[in-house]
Amino acid sequence: MKKTLLGAILAILLAAAPGQANAADLQPGYQTYAPPPPAFRWTGPYLGANIGYLGGSMSNNPTEPSGVVGGLQAGWNWQNGNFVFGGEADINLSGAEDVFAPWKFSNPWFGTVRGRLGLAYNNILFYGTGGLAFGGFEAETFGMSESKTHLGWTVGAGVEFALNPAWSAKIEYLYLNYADRAYSLTGTDNGFDGNLVRFGVNYRF
């Protein structure tokens, strides 16, 4: 009877031993596989705001308008693998101005409509951008003023960081070139080329 009971106990222990060994195998280094979280996706519409600094110079005039700028942007991205492409438009108020007696030139507002093409590494997007630029300029001298809207082009690059599925932050550089237009006040054609560095945030829908 005792031998039978002892044999039954040994059988139970032997049966339990593989399960214990398997449990031990699940310790660090032998843990069960858990799939990684899905990579961040950049596809979809977004709306955001930006602030930065613009500095440049007027052609055929000694003034060099510069100042703080800020505005709103909106766009849409599509993603295929690591490639992200899309479009973005922005409109901005500008404090860029300069006085070189007797002239003053200012750029009270500007906007751009651009394409974007980039490479995404999960939640980090490196991109190039370029397209149409437009903006208002005002010349002043001896109490007289003249305002015109200029068309031009822009090209630049940036990097954008996704903070969570909804919010992202970016830093961007743009070169802006506005074509010359005739100003009766200066008696010549004047245009603008400048450099813009700005920071922005976007909200994805």
* % of the chain with per-residue pLDDT over 90: 80
Q: DSSP assignment of 95-117, as one string?
A: EEEEEETTEEEEEEEEEEEEEEE
Mean pLDDT for the chain?
88
Two structure tokens written together for 51: 């602030």
Each residue of 31-90: pLDDT tens digit?
Answer: 566 555 557 899 999 999 999 999 999 999 999 999 999 999 999 999 999 999 999 999
Q: How many CB atoms lie within 10 A of CB 98?
A: 20
User: Does residue 165 form part of some domain?
Assistant: yes
Residue 21 lies in a domain: no
Specify if 124 maps to a domain: yes
At 192, is the secondary structure helix, strand, or coil?
Answer: strand
Burial zone of 113 (CB within 10 Å; 0-12 exposed, 13-18 middle, 19+ buried): middle
Residue 60 lies in a domain: yes
Res 162 pLDDT > 50: yes
Q: Is residue 2 part of a domain?
A: no
Q: What is the pTM of this model?
A: 0.81
Q: Tell me how crowded residue 57 is: count the other CB atoms within 10 A of its CB.
A: 16
In CATH, what number is assigned to the domain containing residue 107? 2.40.160.20
Domain span at residue 72 reads 44-204
Q: How confident is the model at residue 9 (pLDDT cuts 50, 70, 90)?
A: very low
Is residue 10 situated within a structural domain? no
Helix, strand, or coil (residue 29): coil
pLDDT at 39: 74
Q: Does residue 182 fall inside a structural domain?
A: yes
**What is the total count of domains within the chain?**
1
pLDDT digits (tens, 9 = 90+) for 106-141: 999 999 999 999 999 999 999 999 999 999 999 999
22 within a domain of the structure (yes/no): no
Instruction: Answer yes or no: is pLDDT of 100 > 70.
Output: yes
